[in-house]
Chains A and B, each alone.
Chain A
């Protein structure tokens, strides 16, 4: 308990002005306090049961009755002012105390030591990313995504696709054969077209599907070739699908993939499994054309191979490289990077 003779004497003067003056003084003492202990001491001195406020209140009865009410009011004012001043002093001092604690925990966020438990994101392969984009575009157009084996029989890779064994086109596929069955009876698929056949064998038209997947040719790996690469094949079989639909469909997905201002062009070509056949090109900014893939109306022999009546059903097929799409998108100058799997490469996508 603090008994301050000055304070007592000051407060013993029982008048509103003396109360106000003492209050101003007390508030300024609280404002000047530099730690929480000092605030606690002042609080005790002024506001405790034996503090000056309590004491002053006890003396009200001794005053002239005419003054009692006014002094009582000013004492109440003084009390709330003091309480507020105590609260403010506490808040001021404890805030600066927390700030000191926080300051002691200071960290430089640019000091990047490795975490004990690393937090890092990997990446999907850029070719997978390209495949996702394609799948999403075609799913959006109502197509399903079909898959099939990579090791295929001559039936699925060639014969059902209207490429009999003597056909000149067979040689152009540079097929990698597998030592199973008769010679050249089993092979690594040279295109994703076998999935067309498998789908048509298993499902009744109408069929709208794409088949993305890995394909194989006897190409030695260099900056633009890999013996294993990825293609996507599309197939639509319905009652009245036309060559005009094929051109329009290609235009639609090219616009979705490359931008609406990219134009497309079909020009006659030859594939044994389509007729009429075409190559499709997309326009470059300089106005020249870039060949993207092959397409055409599914050959009646192919439909017959799958037990589909070509008098009722007809449709189109198209195909192009997925890897090439990724190459174009990221301007990759050597596609062997796709299979080196260097994380410095993989982490850029």
Chain B
């Protein structure tokens, strides 16, 4: 919402001057009308005054300048040298007196030009930043005596130029108005708040005209068929409405507040809306069939062509205005229809001002995706009280200045307006919420300053006291008055205000948030991260230690990108994606990680080690509305092979005490078919490890391999943990033996290791695979796995016989389970 200082002052003359701009801005912000922008407009330099040309003489020694004798009202005649020749004797011109600082920064000094003194400067429009004309001096004859009706008498010479031609410096504020402040969507409303904030008077002008007479009743009729939609409907008829442009001062104000002037009737409608908050609509009366207006809800499928030339299909629930034939001629509160639009040959206009049910307007505007200044106000809730008639009067008064004549009489039909009983406000409750110790009377004073009624009731239930019982107010919040309440009547311009808390907010706002003492409350509990959150931090630490960089990627992905990583057909789609191509929510962190790897390769960063902890979105379980959303961990090591990813998994296993981690040779989509495995923890599958499928890498534009680990972090961290139990180190020396087995490719090393562990039992304290050999001497499809086993007992030194016996058991068990033989 934009407001001009000059306009505000028509409602609250004492709010201040241009020089008070900063103070006013602060007060506005403090009242919750945040100043987004403030500009001082139309400021003319001090020292430029109205002067009259008395004589024009050629310069004796120069052809390109002449000597101008001017009367600047100071009593003496001044001589000015001037390079323009468009003046004639008697012209009124702007004169910059000696000492004036021009907008360009030039300071006017008394000086000599080719021997002739010059005591000032005659100004062009450009020099004063009042126009583009730089050719000649600004001739003000017409501006002073012409159309400017705001200046009754001709100003005297020497009058500051701004005053003389009605251009005063002004201040334009752009305010951010919350959805709970329908009242502040007008100049008047802002003025009311500001006046209260500054403690100065507020008084709207009286524009009431004679609306007596009943001829309108015979001319037009209005019927509210749906009172839940329309709380009040005013209508007047204007005759002989001219179609020309608006007066320039009116157009200028509209322009300043960001609306484009169109023609007088539309401009007046907009002017009243900006000034007083009430939108209105003008129908060409001759086009309204039967001169009857009806208000009802639309029927499904009804069609209307709106003012913007678009045919719109209506839905049940939309509010409409109909003509005598029950045809829809306007979408209530949103946009008028084309068929009754005021046009060049319009003579008589029917002006409609209504109060519409905010939720109804809001739903329709949203469904039709139509937002207008009017709809914005209606959906917040306009004023259904006296202001409606004030607006109608203002409309008529402004219309009369352009020559339209109001027909006598006004239609004032009523539907349902919000029921507003006086609110019970408990001052103790307000103080308890705000942390203040305000007295009843302080609260009441704040509320009254913005038009609320607030009276103290000792006992709200016995409603017998005189409503003006001011003397029953107490200055302090005493126990004896603890059951006393403030009875607050909310004004009709505050549709949104309906509870005790709403009132508390008003009191806080007017009291000033900055005047509330600051206290700190701390929880009476120990704050702590959850075990999950602590473990998740540990995961990051481990991965950072392993040289990985944490990434954050967007969860949006295209269906093609999902298909390229083997996840085609999966995923949840978005209704209104930011990027039409990326319409899916990723069910895996792989697309995002591949994008990050590719980005780094493209930017010559070479191989990178990345990880991410983020949500993935899987199909909703049966009967559930929301997706199965999980927090995953992904690690992507570009240029690395599968074992590196396994090594990272081992680090995590160790750090997080994951129990019984197994790699299962199960195929997973998007993974290399022969270099990947499913990760099972305590018997349950929790993710994949290995390398990304070469085709997926190709599709992502990545060169080389990418080692990959993705785990369901949530299941992992919330799942069982291995127990870590202290075991004293043995005091006896260990014995080590090496065993190499020839195992067929299909037998996993893990299977051999399991056999060794089973066979050796507790004596085996360390098992290490130290060599894998494939190649010459090895049968096709076989490889040798060489292990070093360390045996140690806690209570004795192992004898050679014991070690030999364990060795035999190991060899036998491995053969039994895997058919792998000792390498010969």
Question: Which residue of B32, B499, B609 has the most chain A CB atoms within 10 A of its CB atom?
Answer: B32
- B residues less than 8 Å from A275 (CB atoms): 501-502, 504-505
- Check if A28 is an interface residue, CB within 8 A of chain B: no
- A123 pairs with B549, CB closer than 8 A: yes
Give complex CA distance A263, B523 in Å.
23
Residues of B within 8 A of A341 (CB): 549, 551-553, 596, 599-600, 610
B723: CB under 8 A from chain A? no
Cα–Cα, bound, A169→B596 (Å):
36
Which residues of A (171-200) have their CB < 8 Å from a CB of B? Answer: 171-172, 176-181, 183-186, 188
> In the complex, which residues of chain A have a beta carbon less than 8 angstroms from the beta carbon of B548?
122
For B576, what are the chain A residues with a Cβ–Cβ distance below 8 Å? Answer: 176-177, 218
Type the 1/0 row for B510-533, where 1 means its CB is closer than 8 Å to any CB of A: 000110111111111111111001
Distance A275 CA – B600 CA, assembled complex (angstroms): 47
CA A172 to CA B518, docked complex, whole Å: 31
CB within 8 Å for A278 and B513 given contacts A123-B549, A124-B550, A219-B578: yes
Secondary structure at chain A's binding surface: helix, strand, loop or mixed?
A: mixed
B603 at the interface (CB under 8 A from A): yes
The residue that A124 contacts in the complex, of B435, B529, B544, with Cβ under 8 A, is B544
User: In the assembled complex, which residues on chain B have CB atoms less than 8 Å from the CB atom of A139?
Assistant: 527-529
Interface locus among A19-27, A43-51, A65-73, A247-255: A247-255
B620 at the interface (CB under 8 A from A): yes
Q: Is the C-beta of B280 less than 8 angstroms from some C-beta in chain A?
A: no
Chain A contacts for B610, CB-based, 8 A: 341, 343
Q: Residues of A contacting B578 with CB < 8 Å? A: 176, 218-221, 227
Complex: how many Å from CA A245 to CA B34? 23
The answer, yes or no, to whether A208 is at the interface (CB within 8 Å) is yes
Within 8 A of A (CB), among B735-777: none
Chain B neighbourhood of A251, CB < 8 A: 518, 520
Asked if A181 and B625 sit within 8 Å, CB to CB, the answer is: yes
Min CB gap A224→B, angstroms: 15
Q: Which residue of B lies closest to A182 (CB)?
A: B625
A267–B29 CB distance below 8 A: yes
Complex CA gap A266/B513 in Å reads 6
**What sequence of 0s and 1s flags, for each residue 533-573 of chain B, a beta carbon within 8 Å of any chain A beta carbon?**
10001001001111111111111100000000000000011
Contact with B along A208-250 (1 / 0, CB 8 A): 1000001000111100001110000000101011111101110
A251→B549 CA distance, assembly (Å): 34
Chain A contributes a number of interface residues (CB within 8 A of B) equal to 93
In this assembly, does A292 line the interface, its C-beta being within 8 Å of a C-beta of chain B? Answer: no
Across-interface contacts of B549 in A (CB, < 8 A): 122-123, 125, 341, 343, 346-347
* B178 interface residue per 8 A CB criterion: yes
Is A106 an interface residue, CB under 8 A from the partner?
Answer: no
Distance in Å: Cβ of B541 to nearest Cβ of chain A: 8
| Cβ contacts under 8 Å, B433 to chain A | 242-243, 276, 297, 314
Q: Which of A118, A138, A144, A227 contacts B554 (CB 8 A)?
A: A227
A92-B480 Cα distance, complex, nearest whole Å: 101
Residue contact A268 to B31, C-beta cutoff 8 Å: yes
Docked-complex contact B516 and A247, CB < 8 angstroms: yes
Shortest distance between the CB of A144 and any CB in chain B (Å): 6
Q: Is the CB of B521 within 8 A of A151?
A: no
Q: A144-B530, A244-B516, A341-B600 are in contact. Are A186 and B626 (CB under 8 A)?
A: yes
Chain B residues with CB under 8 Å of A269's CB are 32, 34, 178
Q: Which of B543, B551, B577: most chain A Cβ within 10 A? A: B551
Nearest B-chain residue to A136, judged by Cβ: B529
B523:A236 contact, CB within 8 angstroms: yes
Q: In the complex, A339→B359 CA distance in Å?
A: 39
Taking a contact as CB atoms under 8 Å apart, the answer to whether A144 and B528 are in contact is yes
Query: At the interface, yes or no: B74 with Cβ under 8 Å from chain A?
Result: no
Indicate if the CB atoms of A168 and B379 lie closer than 8 Å.
yes
Q: Encode B481-515 as 1/0 by CB contact (under 8 A) with A.
A: 00000000000000000010110110011000110
* Cβ contact within 8 Å between A183 and B519: no
Q: Are A228 and B551 in contact (CB under 8 A)?
A: no
CB-CB under 8 A from A242, the residues of chain B are 432-436, 519
Residues of B within 8 A of A180 (CB): 572, 620, 625-627
Set of chain A residues within 8 Å of B360, measured between Cβ atoms? 166
Q: Interface code B357-384, partner A: CB below 8 Å = 1, 0 otherwise?
A: 0111011001000000000100110000
B166 to chain A, nearest CB (A): 35
A149, B576: Cα distance in complex, Å: 19
Q: What residues of A have a CB within 8 angstroms of the CB of B596 in the complex? A: 340-341
**Nearest chain B CB to A179's CB is how many angstroms away?**
5
Q: Bound complex: CA of A259 vs CA of B783, how far in Å?
A: 64
> Are A168 and B380 interface neighbours, CB within 8 A?
yes
Taking the closest CB of chain B, its distance from the CB of A341, in whole angstroms, is 4
Chain A residue nearest in CB terms to B517 = A244
A125 touches B551 (CB 8 A): yes
Does the CB pair A300–B513 fall under 8 Å? no
Docked Cα-Cα span, A347 to B548, in Å, equals: 10
Judging by beta carbons under 8 Å apart, are A340 and B599 in contact? Answer: yes
Nearest CB in chain B to that of A138: its residue: B527
Contact A153 B434 (CB under 8 A): no
B179 contacts A272, CB within 8 Å?
yes
| Residue in B181, B603, B617 whose beta carbon sits within 8 Å of that of A342 in the complex | B603
Report yes or no: A270 in contact with B600, Cβ–Cβ below 8 A: no
Residues of A within 8 A of B540 (CB): 124, 128
- Residue of B179, B547, B625 touching A120 (CB-CB under 8 A): B547
Known pairs A140-B527, A275-B502; A252 contacts B179 (CB<8 A): no
Given known A145-B533, A166-B362, A299-B501, contact A270–B599 (CB-CB < 8 A): no
Inter-chain contact A245/B519, CB cutoff 8 Å = yes
Q: Does A258 reach chain B (CB closer than 8 Å)?
A: no
Closest to B432 in A: A240
A267-B585 in contact (CB<8A): no
B575 to A178, Cβ gap below 8 A?
Answer: yes
Answer whether residue B581 sits at the interface, using C-beta atoms and an 8 A cutoff. Answer: no
Min CB–CB distance A310 → chain B (angstroms): 8
Q: Which of A265-315 contact B (CB under 8 A)?
A: 265-270, 272, 275-279, 297, 299-300, 314
Cβ contact within 8 Å between B550 and A300: no
A124 to B574, CA, bound (A): 30
Q: Tell me the smallest distance from the CB of B498 to a CB of chain A, in Å.
A: 11
Residues of B within 8 A of A340 (CB): 596, 599
Interface status of B296 (Cβ within 8 A of chain A): no
Within the complex, the shortest CB–CB distance from A160 to chain B, in Å, comes to 15
Partner of A206 from the list B508, B524, B585 (CB cut-off 8 Å) is B524
Q: In chain A, what residue has the closest Cβ to B506?
A: A276
Contact with A along B25-46 (1 / 0, CB 8 A): 0000111101000000000000
Task: Check: A150 CB closer than 8 A to any chain B CB.
Answer: yes
CB neighbors of A among B565-613 (8 A): 572-579, 585, 596, 599-600, 603, 605, 608-611
- Let me know if A270 and B504 touch, CB within 8 A: no
Residue of A nearest to B546 (CB): A122
Nearest CB of chain B from residue A203's CB, rounded to whole Å:
11
Is A77 part of the binding interface, using a Cβ–Cβ cutoff of 8 Å? no
4 closest pairs, A vs B, by CB?
A270-B178, A244-B435, A242-B435, A142-B523
21 A-B contacts, Cβ less than 8 Å apart? A122-B543, A122-B545, A122-B549, A128-B552, A142-B524, A142-B525, A151-B572, A169-B179, A180-B572, A185-B625, A227-B554, A227-B578, A243-B434, A249-B520, A249-B521, A267-B32, A267-B34, A269-B34, A341-B553, A343-B549, A346-B550
Task: Give the A-binding residues of B (Cβ under 8 A).
Answer: 29-32, 34, 178-181, 358-360, 362-363, 366, 376, 379-380, 432-436, 499, 501-502, 504-505, 508-509, 513-514, 516-530, 533, 537, 540, 543-556, 572-579, 585, 596, 599-600, 603, 605, 608-611, 614-615, 617, 620, 625-627, 629
